[in-house]
Structure formats: C-alpha cells, structure tokens
Chain A
C-alpha cells in the first residue's frame, strides 16, 4: 500500500437479484483528504459504501486498510468501526429519546469504579466535544429536541470521537440549511487537517467544489475515474457522471415567462393558517402557472403547502379552488378537487416501502376512485408501463418493491403516482432532493411541460437556482410567515435578500 493511503478497495463486485450493482470498482482514499464519491442515482455509490461498512456482503474484490495486514472484510458496522471506518447517513441513526450525551457514548459509556455508568464524566466529556466542534447544545437534553441538522452533527461528533481513520458522510447536507452546511464544512476541514480521510457523498455539485480535494466517479456500477478536483471542472464532472455532455441545465431557458399563465385562478387562499406552523397567508395561483415557495428550512414553506392540501388541516382562513369555496379536511378531499402533493420527506410520507412499484404508482388514483371500484389489473399495468416509460424509471420490473429502488427512482415513482391522477394543481415539495443532475433537469422540464398544459404547480425547493428556472412568481417564507411575493426581477440575489430579510445581507 502506498504511502499515506488509508483505504483501498480493488475490484469490488456485488450483485443484487437481477442487477449487477457494482462491477470491478476501485477506490482509494488518502490520509487527510476529502474525497467526493459521485454518480447518478443507481450508479452504485451507496452500494459501495455499504460494502465498506459491512452492510453489504460483496462477492469479489479486496479492501485494504492502512495498518492492517491482509484484506479486510467487514460483516457489520461494528466490524467497520473497529477498523476505523465510521459512517454518518442522510437519515440520522441515533436514538431520539436519549440525551445528546447518551447518544454520543452509547455502547461505550465511561464507567465508575463500581462498574456503573459515570454520568457526570460523560456529560462533561460530551459537552466538551460539542463545544470544541462549535455546536451549542445542552448535552443532557433529549436528541429529539434538536433540529435534524444538530442531530446530524451529533452523529458526526460520535463518529469522530471514536477515533475513526475513515469517515463516510452519505448525503449529510441534504437536510441542512446554508449556515449549517458551512459549519459542517468547517468541521470537515478540521478533521481533514487532523489526518482523517473523509468520503463525501452528495448531490450538490457546489459543495463538492467547496470542500473536496479529489473526486471518484461511478456510473452504472462501474468505476469511471479518479480526479484531483482542479482537473475536473463542473461540466466534465457532469459529463463523466452521465456518460455524455450535458447542457440540459442551461437549455431550460428563461422563456418560461412566455407561456404566461392565464388570468383564471386555480387556487386562491385567504388567511389560511395552521396553528403552530404557519401564520395566516394569502396566495393566488393561476392556471398554468408555476409558483415557487422559497425560504430556509423550517421557515414554514412546507407547512404552507400542507395547509392548502389538508395534510395539516387549516385552522383558519378560506380556500377557493377553481373559483369555488373548498372545504378540505384531509388529503382525499383535496385530491377530489384535483390536487396532488409530493411531500418532501420521501421515506416517511412518500413511498410505501413494502409495496411494489405498480401498487405505489396506482395508489392515489385508486384512493380517488374508492375502495369498491378497483382498477383492473390490465388497466393498472397499462398506466404503470406508460409512466415508467415517461419518467424513465429504472426498475427491474413493475412488481419490484419500491424500497429496492434508488432514491431518485423512488421519487419518480411517487411523481408518477400523482401524474396518473391527472391533477390540475400539483404541489411539489423538494422534488429534486437527493436526486442526480440529469434527473433534476428532467423534473424541471416536466414541471414546465405540465404548466404549458395548463396545470398549476406549487414548487418548493432549497435550490433557488432551480426555482428561478421554472417559476414565474415566488412566495417568500420566513419564520412561519409569508413575508413577500416576488414576481419580477427574479434573481438569485433578490430572492436571497428577500429570504434573509431587510436587516441582513447574505452576499
């Protein structure tokens, strides 16, 4: 093993039933570097990581770790941790009902002389760890009292404190806002300088170029190449990931304002609110219009949509749909009025994991039709085939369980679920989160196409740039309140300023 390499994987091959997930993949991680692992959905990033951490039992290939003779084969995350590989996933794998300190030391609690847990010691040590990392928390509080971002930081702190040589961060920034991401980067750089090798999996190209030193690209389970960051400009990276040159993102033009919405109102909300999450707001959406909702995470942007859709029943206000006053008590009422909602938390509110792709896709239409009017199997297959093709869902078959699909393909299935119902008004809450660049472009195009067909869309995203590409108007949310509405001069800067509010300037 060459000098200062901490981990090498050679020729890793792994098959799932019917799919070759990894074929002869190499990966090299050096001491003190942040190494981006890039690829589209289903390229094999997660699979490779699971091979490193012992969750997947790979069939061929070898993994070597500095300081250990012979190939290492982990059979559990515990094995992986014992050889110095720690992982922090997108979904936080900690216990929300335990305190921050308990989470940090679970399974390795400091003991007193009487072999009881030394609470004082670990609370003190925990506080020091968190303070050192610049995270202000009370370590005796339960983890569930903190935001997802803090929980993620705790997970990283835990991993770091276990003397890891290799830290794997799998989509750690998906649910963080900009400031939190910056904090995370400070932490990552500090760890790098301490000599930890960090594997960083993300879909945000921006972030890769901000913190990473090196990039490894996978495509369709194959190793494409390893590049120092300076030698792989953005366009080439995208090209390497997709296996072709792509200007699609640029192609989605500014001309969307031309397919200007009609003057007819689809949705008209007056004083709508949901106690505790979103203050009373007014919102009009015309037919054929794409309206964006921008704001920081937790600003009430999802809650605004949920109040319209009845996912959280509105506490005050009135809603008119297509000119008629609507009474929405629960989602099915909204669906009968021609609405659909793709929720932001795909795992918790989107997919029905143990049902097949087919069942997941037809679920909403079936619910709309009612229990005693089942869609015939032939009709189901026809619809599902059509939308699998339209959305280019990569799946082994219609009867594959949706949980076996990659995140982006799961998202396409959920999108298909709503498109099948032929909605007049579609709420898309973070439809492109955790999705690769190519699919993002497809979804953005689809949004514009739906609008051109006269459908109204409420588009919520953390990426202002993608809303700029698609929306003609944007509602700005801050602290649970709709504070502004921008309909001309939409630029990254103007939107950022509106989100930040008068007294701040984010540039």
Chain B
C-alpha cells in the first residue's frame, strides 16, 4: 500500500511539469494584449502602458517569462493577478472553501440520489421505477450542467420562489439553503452516471450463485439486496463515484458562474475573459494537482475496499 502511494506521488512530478508547460504556452497563445486589457483598452498614455508591461514582466521574451514563472512556482509563488493586483495564492485560497463545500455537498446529494435509485432499479428490474430511473439517468447525463442550473432556478426560484439562487448566504443554515440549488444541479448530473453503474453492479451481484444460496436459505429479500449484493457491488460504485469527484471540480466552474458563487470556477472564468495570465495559470495548475490527488485517494480507497487490489500489485 505504501509503495502504491509513493509510486503515484512520484509520477506527480513529471505530470505537473507537463501540465505547467502546456498551461503556460496555451494561455499565452490566446491573442490579446493583457497590458491593454488591464487598463480597459480605450484611454492610456504610452508611459502608463510601459509601466504596466515592466511591472508584470510583459516586456520580456516568452521563454524568459516562462523560466521566471516556473522558478517562482518552485518557490510556492503563483504570481500576482494582473487585474486584481493580489497574490494568486491568496485569490485561490480565498475561494477554495466555497468550491469545496459545493463539491462535497453535491457529491453527497448525488450519492443520496444515485445509490438508492440504482438499488431499487436493480431489485425491481423492468418495473416502472426502473424505467423512470433510466429516463432520469438519460436526462441527467445529457443535459449540460448550466442548462440544468437555469432550469432549476426557473422552477425553484423564479416560479415557486422557494429557494434562493444567488450567492452562498451568511454561513450556517443560510449557507445550507443557498447551496441547495447549486448542489442539486451538480448532484443530478453526477447521479445520472452513478445510478446506472449502481444498477449494473447490483444486477450483476444479484445474479451470482451466492445470492441464490442466500435466497434458498430463506433470507429476507431486503437483507439479501442490502447486505449481500450491495457490499459486493460497492467496488465499481466507489471507483466511478471517486473519479466523478475529480470531475466535480470542473463542473463546479459552470455552476458557480450560474449561481453567483465566488469559487475557484468563477475566478478562472473571469481570469480567462480578461487575459489574467497568472490567475489562469495558477488556478489551472491548482485544479490539476487537486484532480490528481483525488484520484490517488480513490485508488487508495479502492485497495481498502477490495483486498485483491492491495495484494494483486505484488503478484
């Protein structure tokens, strides 16, 4: 187990290097003069423009800018935002909590929808409930997150006026209420796939011989499904759910934008729009690192649930 973690951590190094390089040059390929955008375009004196270029190293050749940026990065310095003139690290850390809350909350909602729905579908195959769950999964998976978001806003805020659609509230209960709609949006999208996986895994588990044996022993149906089948179906569910947690961070970008949540996602989108290179680079790398680490965590968890993974590595 320790070896698995160490190997995976070591592969992080070349991977992060690759990501930084790609991100840097990709970002600088986008046309647009950041110095000019920084001051708004219309009016500026040449001296003023020159000051900005100097202050943000925009007057140097690209390879030199890259070298300086990487060396800063190794010192834990993500640079300064062109637009907000604040350390990128501060900007990211300021906004991280809300993105994490949104992700965790959505994740819980998605599991709360998907696992029971998947189990019921599998246990009552081809019933109207199963068909309903299939339709839900199909709709949830095909509707883009921002569309689901607008739909939920129109229903729950605009029409019914039940739930707020703006911001993250003032902590505690208020925050919970404010996060309901955004989390539901993400949760539904995620639940779609997890429902299907749960269903397939459960169907497979329920057709195994040991289930027949359990039935033959006269165990209650509920106990068979929840105790015997579910435990064995859990491995694929955890794998997929874990992978999805990584994608959640990406989905959060769009949801935050729609619900006016000041998380990492809205930071990134706004930065792209104004060519705020340091923020785009910093946030992308941060998200990439987070994604890799979460996947590592899932791999470890996978080993915990299924002992075969733990020992299989040595065979």
A pairs with B: no
Residues of A whose CB lies within 8 Å of any CB of B are none
